[in-house]
Structure 1
Amino acid sequence: MLAKRIIPCLDVDHGRVKKGVNFVNLTDVGDPVEIAAAYEQQGADELVFLDITATNEKRRAIVDTIEQVASQVFMPLTVGGGIHSVDDMQRLLKAGADKVAVNSAAVQDPKLITAGAEKFGAQCIVLAIDSKWDSASQRYVVYVNGGRQATDLDVIQWAKDGVAAGAGELLVTSMDKDGTKSGFDIPLYQALTAAVNVPIIASGGCGKVADFTTVFDQTDVDAALAASVFHFGELTIPDVKQTLKKAGVTVR
């Protein structure tokens, strides 16, 4: 059995790590390079760096900050935000990213996933999906532009289409759960893991160490991502891994 991964996430806005609730009301957390170095010391399995305002501001991701972060970490680094072309992917991979995450641009043009997978390999291409439950249609709907804009795409179908296009991994954030600390969206990840056969990272809602145990016990996700509980020192990576080991979950 593959070891489950624990992944902290840096949501970066103009060179500073920010965190909000349900994608709004962002507060400043600190310097991404310092925070990345701390997670390296704690033994995080991977790190996700998302430039959360790049797409909305129609600019590229901040390469110099990514280079500085990459110099501090030896774990795999996934970078997303402001990726519109294979050239953008190449720029980030050259800056030190191991994987690139595409979201809004992939919704606009799914061929971007295929082009990236053909050039760099599917293992390099992460499809990031921002999901929100729509009670009227009784389905999970895909949002783009940093969670600002709804699409007519069904999350489960889009996940299948993205994998068919060449995505080697999915990073799926529950907007309903984001920043609420009320636990991961279990039904969402149960549906996703039943639908696709690539690794899935669960994101959004982690508030306590038991939430990690629950998501690994009740779904087949490969990794769990959290931000605020790690940023504010409510949990540490070693604490989480120790608890998971005691619960019989295989971790690194």
Structure 2
Amino acid sequence: MLAKRIVPCLDVDHGRVKKGVNFVDLTDVGDPAEIAAAYEQQGADELVFLDITATNEARGAMVDTIEKVAAQVFMPLTVGGGIKSVADMQALLKAGADKIALNSAAVTQPELIQAGAEKFGSQCIVVAIDVRWDEATQEYRVYVNGGRKAADLEAISWAKKVVALGAGELLVTSMDRDGTKSGYDLKLYQALTAAVNVPIVASGGCGKLADFNTLFAETDVDAALAASVFHYGELTIPQVKQSLREQGVTVR
């Protein structure tokens, strides 16, 4: 059985790490390179960097930030935000990224998923999907532009489509749970893991040790992403891994 991964996430806005609730009310939590180095020391399996305002502000990808971080840490880095072309992907990979996350660009240019997978390999292409439950239609809907804009897409069928196009991993965030610390949306990840056969990183809602345990006990996701609980020192990665080991979950 493959080891489950624990993945901190840095939401970056103009070169600083920010954190909010339900994608709004962002507060500054520090310098990306310093925070990344601290997470590496704690034993994070990888790190996700998302430039959360690049697409909305029509800025390019954060190559400079990734160069600074990659000079200090050696764990795998997944980077997303403001990527519009294969050239943007190449620049980030050259700067030190290991995987590229496409979110809004995957929706507006699905061919970019295929082009990236063909050039760099599927293992390099992560499609990030921000979803919100729609009570009226009783389905999960996809959002883009840092969660600001609804796309006319149902999340499970969109997940199937991006995997068919060549995505090697999905990073799926529950906007309803983001920053709330009320636990992961188990129903969402059960539906996703039944629908596709690539690794899924679950994001949104982690607030306590039991949330990690429940996620891995009740779904087949490959990784748990968290931000607030790690940024504010409420939990450490060694604590999480020890708790999971005690529950019989294989971790690195």
Equivalenced residues, count: 252
Please give the residue correspondences for 1:223-242 in structure 2 after superposition, counting only pairs within 5 Å: 223-242=223-242
Paired AA for residue 7 in structure 1: V
Query: Which residue of the partner structure matches residue 145 of structure 1?
Result: 145
Query: Which residue of the partner structure matches residue 194 of structure 1?
Result: 194
Report runs of 4+ in structure 1 exceeding 3 Å deviation.
none
Q: TM-score, normalised by structure 1?
A: 0.99
Distance in 2 (CA, whole Å) between partners of 1:149 and 1:65 is 26
Query: Which residue of the partner structure matches residue 68 of structure 1?
Result: 68
Query: Which residue of the partner structure matches residue 179 of structure 1?
Result: 179
SS where residue 87 of structure 2 aligns?
Answer: helix
Q: TM-score, normalised by structure 2?
A: 0.99
Task: After superposing the two structures, state which structure 1 stretch, 118-127 or 67-76, moved more.
Answer: 67-76
Please say if 1:45 is aligned against 2:45: yes
Please give the residue correspondences for 1:1-252 in structure 2 after superposition, counting only pairs within 5 Å: 1-252=1-252
Q: After TM superposition, give the deviation of residue 70 of structure 1 in Å.
A: 1.0
Contact 1:101 1:127 in 2 (8 A): yes
Distance in 2 (CA, whole Å) between partners of 1:118 and 1:128 is 18
Task: For residues 23-43 of structure 1, give each alpha carbon's deviation from its aligned partner in whole angstroms, at most 9, with x where no partner exists.
Answer: 000000001110000001000
SS where residue 17 of structure 1 aligns?
Answer: strand
Q: After TM superposition, give the deviation of residue 165 of structure 1 in Å.
A: 0.3
SS where residue 72 of structure 1 aligns?
Answer: coil
Distance in 1 (CA, whole Å) between partners of 2:77 and 2:40 is 11
Q: After TM superposition, give the deviation of residue 109 of structure 1 in Å.
A: 1.4
Paired AA for residue 207 in structure 1: G
Distance in 2 (CA, whole Å) between partners of 1:250 and 1:199 is 15
Distance in 2 (CA, whole Å) between partners of 1:130 and 1:108 is 14
Task: For residues 118-162 of structure 1, give each alpha carbon's deviation from its aligned partner in whole angstroms, at most 9, with x where no partner exists.
Answer: 000000000000000000000000000000000110000000000
Distance in 1 (CA, whole Å) between partners of 2:103 and 2:72 is 26
Paired AA for residue 56 in structure 2: N
Paired AA for residue 104 in structure 1: S
Task: For residues 13-55 of structure 1, give each alpha carbon's deviation from its aligned partner in whole angstroms, at most 9, with x where no partner exists.
Answer: 0011000000000000001110000001000000000111000
RMSD: 0.4
Distance in 2 (CA, whole Å) between partners of 1:51 and 1:148 is 14
Distance in 2 (CA, whole Å) between partners of 1:62 and 1:2 is 31
Q: After TM superposition, give the deviation of residue 86 of structure 1 in Å.
A: 0.4
SS where residue 26 of structure 2 aligns?
Answer: strand
Contact 1:40 1:72 in 2 (8 A): no
Distance in 2 (CA, whole Å) between partners of 1:46 and 1:222 is 13
Paired AA for residue 234 in structure 2: E
Distance in 1 (CA, whole Å) between partners of 2:61 and 2:10 is 13
SS where residue 146 of structure 2 aligns?
Answer: coil
Task: For residues 39-97 of structure 1, give each alpha carbon's deviation from its aligned partner in whole angstroms, at most 9, with x where no partner exists.
Answer: 01000000000111000011112211110111121111000000011000000000000
SS where residue 71 of structure 2 aligns?
Answer: helix
Contiguous gaps of at least 5 residues in structure 2: none
